Amino acid sequence: MAGRLDGRVAVVTGGCSGIGLATVRRFLEEGAKVVIGDVDDTRGEELVSELGVTYVHVDVTSKEQVDALFQSAKDTHGSVDIAFNNAGISPPEDDSILDTDLDAWRKVQEVNLTSVYLCCKAALPYMLEQGRGSIINTASFVAVMGAATSQISYSASKGGVLSMSRELGVQFARQGVRVNALCPGPVNTPLLRELFAKDEERAARRLVHVPMGRFGEPEEMANAVLFLASDESSFITASTFLVDGGISGAYVTPL
């Protein structure tokens, strides 16, 4: 069924690659007008030409730039109906708590958790004024279970995203705004490929836990985001929406 997002305006952070870009393409297929927020200006301008989207340079840890992103969506297209708060990082220096220093901890928290707070804070006033809206925040399966490979700040940040999404989903449900947390399993994105290309053993340790025996694809995550953004999920809010190939439901002996 095409046209599930006809006439709606979607803001996607981290929209120049990976899950974000796959979701941008999926939203466009379903009739949405899309505003991408990212720091990759070269790729952003390419997507403006290729897809006809609006691109805004945004450092998601800056309140002023995040506010300007959502204001741009409102000014350009007249509403803010969907916010897919997806930007995130997983740097190699984020490892065991014994090895991760305070600067690395803070950097990941700022990009992965504080940015979601800022994006929700910016999007909600528009949605509350309209009396409708859907916010989807990217958490992770590691928000509900321990990671097989240690990434202490990443795991903690995604737990924070999940908890915040639940609270907002409950708080604003009767005002027409739904808030859900997408919890992907390991996904075949540039971020994951870069991380595991440097350590094949680490990739194998992660993959053995996935019952389906493979990593997810960005397009599979995009389909889940589309569902949460559309009216097909109209009775879903404050949800932990796991799209993880069964990893969170399985017991698998590690290698």
| Residue 154 designated active-site | yes
- DSSP category for residue 113: I
d(CA 6, CA 85): 20
Handedness of CA 180, 132, 20, 102 (dihedral sign): negative
Catalytic residue among 55, 117, 154, 251: 154
In angstroms, the CA 121 to CA 160 distance is 15
Q: Which residues contact 89 (CB under 8 A, 6 or more apart)?
A: 107, 108, 111, 112, 191
DSSP per position, 3-62: -TTTT-EEEEETTTSHHHHHHHHHHHHTT-EEEEEES-HHHHHHHHHHH--EEEE--TT-
Spatial distance between the Cα atoms of 209 and 201, rounded to a whole number of angstroms: 13
Per-position DSSP letters for 224-254, written without gaps between them: HHHHHHSGGGTT--S-EEEESTTGGG-----
The CA radius of gyration of the chain, in Å to the nearest whole number, is 17
As annotated, the active-site residues are 154
